[in-house]
Amino acid sequence: MFYYLFTYLDQAYDLPGAGVFQYISFRAAAAVITSLIISLLLGNRLIRILVRKQVGESIRDLGLEGQSEKKGTPTMGGLIILGAVLVPALLFAKLDNIYIILMIFTTIWLGLIGFLDDYIKVFRKNKQGLAGKFKIYGQIGLGLIVGLVLYFNENVVIREKISAEKLIQTSESGEIIRITEPTAKFTKESVKSTKTTIPFFKNNEADYSRILSFLGEGYEKWAWIIFVPIVILIITGVSNGANLTDGIDGLATGTSAIIGATLGILAWVSGNIVFADYLNIMYIPDSGELTIFISAFVGACIGFLWYNSYPAQVFMGDTGSLAIGGIIAVFAIIIRKEFLIPVLCGIFFVESLSVIMQVSWFKYTKRKYGAGRRIFKMSPLHHHFQVLGYSEPKIVQRFFIVGIMLAVFTIITLKLR
């Protein structure tokens, strides 16, 4: 909203300083500061309200050290994150940008699903919360909407590179004396495409539509049949991965802040034609505006970490965990970096993988030997380390270190090919 207000004041009245709102860097910085302030102020008030309403977490006894002390800790703190993300986004981002609209929609959609789950747990006294199948239906529904919008909306385009032909200079006798191969440049026209980035490869772009090339001429128009299910799979996987990671104080929040900061850098360079050309990556017009949204997201996570760090004063609940996972997934898909998710979101990935491995192996050994066996002491993975005797702060700090290393590795894939 401020963008439109100050643009009008700058054009109509030449208001000194109003033009600074044209710069993404300024609005991104303002979004970070605003989200931090909102999360810190809102957090303190919301915690008092939750305590007064006795909205406490019902802890399932897993036999872990210090677990009983968490009983009664206020939950549904994800409302702090949602407010601290949405308000700065509405204030500083261009609200007619299709990518911003999708991100706001994603935040509200998954926030509502998570809120409903927490509401059933807390107020209906049902420890199971919202049935798992309904969560999956909600995630699939979001993936379907996001996938179809990204595929069919006319404003979702990229500007592809074209390889200039080799310039061959010959002598009078026809002999080749010099060959010049100009650097590929971006075309001036934007095109619809289902291309995405494949990390670690020099010509690192792959097109989902190529999977259907066996259909013959015109196969490109059916690319949505491949694209949409992939979007659904990514959103569901990352959202549930974030939910599983939210098991000890500060882990999911801090990890998400690291991931968000990295995605912000990738969005910045992908939305800037100069940087994209220099780094030889896909240029996505208008995607730079996402930097404002993800800046608010990072600020919200850091602000919430103030209250969620050990010992936590409030838990985010599914209201926050489902939303932050969905935000990360949709953001990565928009900037065509979804294949970097296993690296960048490595913490989410191994947490989910540990649960899949544990459950699968237990069922297999129970069926084969009559008694279930386990790979880990307990899953998700952070509980395994708790059983081994590591304290929560040590586990969280070490996971943060791994998360930072993965983030740095993700950034260097821009040049490491």
In the prediction, which pLDDT does 56 show? 65
Which residue type, as a one-letter code, is found at position 404? I
In the prediction, which pLDDT does 51 show? 83
Distance separating alpha carbons of residues 26 and 7, to the nearest angstrom: 14
| The length of the chain, given as a count of residues | 417
Provide the residue-wise pLDDT of the chain in tens; the chain has 417 residues.
888 888 878 888 888 888 888 899 999 999 999 999 999 998 889 888 888 877 766 666 566 666 666 777 888 899 999 999 999 999 999 999 999 999 999 999 999 999 999 999 888 878 788 888 999 999 999 999 999 999 998 888 787 665 544 445 555 544 545 555 555 566 656 777 888 888 877 777 788 888 888 888 888 888 899 999 999 999 999 999 999 999 899 999 999 999 999 999 999 999 998 888 888 888 999 999 999 999 999 999 999 999 999 988 999 999 999 999 999 999 999 999 999 999 999 999 999 999 999 999 999 999 988 888 999 999 899 999 999 999 999 999 999 999 999 999 999 988 877
In the prediction, which pLDDT does 164 show? 47
Tokens of 132: 């798992």
DSSP state of 380: S
In the prediction, which pLDDT does 162 show? 54
- Kindly report the pTM of this predicted structure: 0.91
Pairing of strands 185-186, 205-207: unpaired
Q: How far is CA 233 from CA 26, 236, 364, 369, in A?
A: 35, 5, 25, 33
| 141: Cα separation from own chain's centroid | 17
